[in-house]
Structure 1
């Protein structure tokens, strides 16, 4: 993971965020900070995303040459260009979307409040984009009534998506744990990242089993946070350091191999 400090240092989220009601974590506050973190995109994921991008680009090229031959705009030109723009938008604001984290560590546990980071006027931009896209679809239908069948397919789905964008709100999420729960701490110093986990135990419920708390420390504070964890976490907790992305890929491969084995 790659992260950067929030320069403003503001703990108050924007007004348009949906703020959930939740009780604060009790105990003496030991540390609190705010960061922006961006997910680490692996080469494998980038290759897959780039391969998908070839599909709308090929449709765009086909429509371009078809337009020159027939002297009229091809549906493939419109569809290919639209999907290409939407996919690039999706790539930038979903796979490479930054998240704002507000952390607070006490002698009882740790908590975080997090939400996706968008530009200041992003909500107004989404509303404008929805209106423009709706006008474009209706404009194509007015130019060539044959495009009206799009309302039963891509055009109809686009109109429904536009409605969702107009009513969109950025949701705030919250997560916390107490020091008696974790039994595994993994540190990735290269990416300045700590993850607090709990190994699975089949004799307890899923809610008690599950724990996945990702910590993005401020610059130069990783060892300080680790010292707090070691002071308050159980004495028998496992500590491990390395490359977290490689750790996840190995775990996914093991899970896949287990699923492939015959019963």
Structure 2
């Protein structure tokens, strides 16, 4: 028996019970440990090209160290961009707790103007390619990396932020509950503790309400395990 259903489009909802709790939270899906490790790896990868070019032109940079500032700024900017907009990007979770199960709707958090911005960038890139084609009278420039950029622009033009849905199995099928007090998370499992339905909370008080409900709704022999987790699924 699977712990939860995960479908990109909205699944057929078998839950018909009354609402018990509703809450939303915007948070990073991965654990702080995983985020820190990813940040270190990203920073290292961004620094490697600059270090390579500095090593190649070491004679020039030894005589004029300020010449290397551009490489340093470029690497730092790239790392900060990736960390801020991708690695530390938050996910919005909308939870509904019912008497016969729970559901969550989640999607990546983008500012309200993101869709217009992405489409504007895509249109600019496409028009630039069309202009180059008209000037050169040839489409041969649409080869290799440029072709990949053109395809990416087309996809960006049709960009939509996908919304994902999950729902629990019936309460009586769950056998384990993992409680992570540090991350304010509760994960309920059926037979397999490596998969389950994770609930994230903006406050400890709300998490305690959820746990109190689970102790009544889940089987009496369900095992509660308190530990830190690296859980990042929905």
- For the criterion TM > 0.5, the same-fold answer is yes
Unpaired runs of at least 5, structure 2: 1-7, 59-69
Match of 2:44 among 51, 57, 72: 51
* Residue 80 of structure 2 corresponds to residue 93 of structure 1: no
Q: How far apart, in 1, do the equivalents of 2:196 and 2:101 lie?
A: 14
TM-score, normalised via structure 1 length: 0.63
* Residue 179 of structure 2 corresponds to residue 187 of structure 1: yes
* Cα deviation 1:134-179 (Å, max 9, x = unaligned): 5677889999x9xx98742222111111111110111221111120
Match of 2:121 among 107, 126, 129: 129
Q: How far apart, in 2, do the equivalents of 1:172 and 1:35 lie?
A: 15
Match of 1:239 among 212, 224, 233: 224
* Cα deviation 1:215-249 (Å, max 9, x = unaligned): 1123221111111111101222221112113xx6x
**What's the secondary structure of 2:117's corresponding residue?**
helix
Matching residue of 1:206: none
* Residue 160 of structure 2 corresponds to residue 169 of structure 1: yes
The structure-2 alpha-carbon separation of the partners of 1:49 and 1:157, relative to structure 1 and needing over 3 Å to count, comes to: same
For the aligned residue pairs, the C-alpha RMSD in angstroms reads 3.9
**What's the secondary structure of 1:114's corresponding residue?**
strand
**What's the secondary structure of 2:216's corresponding residue?**
helix
Tell whether the 8 Å contact from 2:38 to 2:87 is kept in structure 1 after alignment.
no
Aligned length: 202
* Residue 215 of structure 2 corresponds to residue 230 of structure 1: yes
Unpaired runs of at least 5, structure 1: 1-17, 66-76, 201-208, 249-263
Match of 1:160 among 146, 151, 160: 151
* Residue 28 of structure 2 corresponds to residue 38 of structure 1: yes
Q: How far apart, in 2, do the equivalents of 1:237 and 1:112 lie?
A: 22
The structure-2 alpha-carbon separation of the partners of 1:181 and 1:88, relative to structure 1 and needing over 3 Å to count, comes to: farther
The structure-2 alpha-carbon separation of the partners of 1:91 and 1:193, relative to structure 1 and needing over 3 Å to count, comes to: same
Q: How far apart, in 2, do the equivalents of 1:139 and 1:55 lie?
A: 35
Q: How far apart, in 2, do the equivalents of 1:138 and 1:121 lie?
A: 26
